[in-house]
Chains A and B, each alone.
Chain A
Amino acid sequence: MVLSRQRRFVTPGPEETIEELAARALPGQPLQAAVDSIKSWNLHVFAMRRPPGLMLGSDVIFVEPPVSNG
C-alpha cells in the first residue's frame, strides 16, 4: 500500500543551527528566506517554546507548509 502524502519533516542534527538546518532542508533557496520559512512552519518550536527556537534532537521540523489532502 502506498502511503498518502503527508507533510515532510526533518529532525535537527546534533548542535545543528537553524541556518544549517534551513540550508540542508531547503537547498538552493536564499538562506534568510529559507530560515524564515522554516520558522513560520514550525511555531511549536520557534514561537510557542520557552525559550523560543530551542531545537531538540527529537523535534519534528517541518520543511514545507501544511499540505492539503482534500
Chain B
Amino acid sequence: MFDVIVRGGTVVDGTGAPGFAGDVAVKDGRIAAVGQISGEARTVVDARGRVVAPGFIDPHTHFDVQLLWDGAARPALEHGVTCVVPGNCSLSLAPLKADDRKAVVGMFQQIEEMPPEAFTTAFEWTWEDFAGYRAAIEKGLSINVAPLVGHSVIRLWVMGPASQERAAFPDEIAAMQALLRECLKAGAVGLSTSFVDLDAHGKPVPSRYAQFDELDALCAVLGEFGRMLQVVPEFYATDITIARIDQLAELSIRHGIPTTFSPLFDTLAVPDNAERAIARVEEQFARGARVWPQMQTRPIDISFSLLRPSLFFARLPRWVRILRQPLEQRVAALTDPDTRAKMLADLGPDGGEAMFGRLVARGGDACPPEYVGKTLSEIARLRGQPAGLALIKLSLENGLDVAFLSASQGHQSTDRIGPMLAHPLVHIGASDGGAHLASFSTYGDTGYLFSEFVRKAGAMSLEKAVAKITSETADIWGLKDRGRLAPGQCADIVVFDADAIDRGDELPAFDMPGDGMRYVRAARGVDTVLVNGEVAYAQGAYTASRSGVVCV
C-alpha cells in the first residue's frame, strides 16, 4: 500500500529526458516507484492530461521573516515551488543578537522593501543563533527551506558597530569562521554577501567593509562542507560584474565550492552586458570554477505610490529623502511650493514628461476611476499640468494612495532572454520572493517561464524548462535527493497543465502583518503540489499539511 499515487499523467522527471505516460508512487515521504504502477494508495491524485514534475526550487528569496507566520511562503507554493532559499544578499535573521534586531530589520526594510510591522507584530523573537531560527520556522513549514546565512549579520554579531567601520582583525575573522561553521552545522546551505547594499541610514551594509581575505577565510569554511557562496554584484556595471566573476572563480577553485551571483539582467541600454558576463562565466567554468549567474524570467516592472519609499526613485536623491519622511512631514513637503519646485526641477526642463510620462495609473487603490489605465502623460494633459506636478497633485488629492506602474524597465526582450535562460551555465532564479512587497510581485516566475519561454517563444522544451528549475538547481546547490522524480528521491511533486501554467495578473493583496500591502500573482494551471509526499496544495486551496523541512 502506497501513501500516494499520482496517476495517469505525463511524467517529466526533471532530468530533461522526454516526458512519458506513467504514474508516480509515494511512500514515507519518498518516491517509491515511477512507471506503470498497479498497487493501491491511501490517496490517489488524478493527473490525466497533466504533467507530473518534481517541485520547483527557487534559489533567491527573502522569505526569512514570512516563514515565521506563513510556512507555505504564499503564494510561492501554489506556483509549484516546493523549496525556497531565503537568506540572500548578506541578510538573514540569524545569527542575530537581540540588541541588533532593529538594525537588521532596518536593512530588510531598506534593501528588500519590507515593512517593519512584518518583523514586530506577527511572531515572537525567540532565538539568537541559527539553530534557534531553524527551530522557530520548522514548527510550521509546509514548503521546504534551504536557508543561507548572511555575511552582514555574521559580521555584526562578531564586530558590533565596527562591522560598518573597518576591516576585521585576525581574531575577529577566526570568530566569524567559527560562527559560520556553527550555522552550516545547523543547516545553512551556504553564505550570502553583498557588494552593493545600503542600510536604513544609507550606510554600506557590514559585508561591504570586508577585505577579500575575510571572504576568503569564510569560503574556506564553506569548503569544509562544500556549500554555496551567493553574492550581489554591481549588476548595473559590466566591468565590475566581470571582476566579481573573477573573484568568485578564485574562491570556487581554491575552496572547491559552488558560487552564484544574482541578479544578472539583460538591458537594451547596455546590450552586451549579459553576453559579456556569460562569456566570462564560460571561461571560468572551463578552468574548473563554478560561478553560476542567476537570471530571472520576468521583465522588470515597478509599481509605486508616494505612500512609501520606492526603488523607482533611486536616481532622484531628493525625492528619496522626501518620500522617506513620516507621512505628515512627507505631505507637508509635497505641499510646500519651494520644496515642490526643487523636486520638479530635478526632473529636467520637460517637467517630468520623459521620466514619468509612460507611467500608468493602476486600479485597486484610491485612484479616481477616470484616470485608471491612463498614462501619466495623458493624465497630465487632461489636468493641464506637467507630468511631475500631475503625479504629486493627483497623489496629494487622494491621500497619496495612487499607484503607478512603470512597465518593462529592463530585461523585457523575450527574443534576447530566451536563449540566455536556455544556456547551460545560466541558473534560472533571482525571483527575490518575499521582498520588494509594494514594488512588484516576486511570485510566478516559474509560470512565466512556461507561458512565455516554452509556449510562446519556444526558447526551450518543456522538459528542459522543468530541468532548469528542478534537477539543475538541486545539483548546483547540493540539495540531496531533490529535483528528480526517481525512486528514493524526496516526494516533492507538482501536477500542472502544460497548456495553462502561467502567472496570474499582478494584484495588490492585504495579507501582511499590520496593514502591509504587497503585490502578488496567483498561479494558473497548477493542480496539485506535494511536499515530502503530502498534498500541500490542491484544487486552488492550501491544505493543513505541515510536511516542509529544512532540507540541507
Contact = CB atoms under 8 A, between A and B. Distances in A.
To the question of whether A and B form a pair in one complex, the answer is: yes
A9 to B, nearest CB: 5
Interface in B109-154: none
Contacts of A54: 204
Contacts of B246: 3, 6
A70 to B, nearest CB: 12
A60 B243 contact: yes
A9 B208 contact: no
A56 interface: yes
B240 A58 contact: no
Given A7-B242, A44-B240, A50-B202, A60 B211 contact: no
Nearest to B285: A1
B56 to A, nearest CB: 32
Nearest to B242: A6
Contacts of B237: 44
A7 B210 contact: no
A3 B208 contact: no
Given A14-B167, A56-B209, A58-B208, A3 B243 contact: no
Interface in B247-302: 276, 279-280, 283-284, 286-287
B313 interface: no
Contact of B204 (A6, A11, A15, A56): A56
Contacts of A66: 239
Interface in A9-61: 9, 11, 13-15, 44, 50, 54, 56-60
B234 interface: yes
Contact of B212 (A50, A58, A69): A58
Given A14-B211, A57-B214, A3 B287 contact: yes
A11 B287 contact: no
B74 interface: no
Given A14-B166, A44-B237, A6 B243 contact: yes
B207 interface: yes
B215 interface: yes
B195 A58 contact: yes
Interface in B397-421: none
B283 A56 contact: no
Interface string B147-167: 000000000000000000011
A1 B287 contact: yes
A43 to B, nearest CB: 9
Contacts of B7: none
Contacts of A57: 167, 208-212, 214
A6 B209 contact: no
Contact of B239 (A1, A4, A7, A56): A7
A60 B208 contact: no
A41 B219 CA distance: 29
Contacts of B214: 57
Interface string B336-377: 000000000000000000000000000000000000000000
A29 B207 CA distance: 33
Nearest to B215: A58
A55 B313 CA distance: 25
Given A1-B286, A44-B237, A56-B204, A15 B166 contact: yes
A59 B237 CA distance: 13
B464 interface: no
B244 interface: yes
Most chain B beta-carbon contacts within 10 A, residue among A9, A44, A56, A57: A57
10 contacts: A6-B242, A6-B243, A44-B234, A56-B209, A58-B207, A58-B209, A58-B212, A59-B208, A60-B234, A60-B244
Interface of A: 1, 3-4, 6-7, 9, 11, 13-15, 44, 50, 54, 56-60, 62, 66, 69
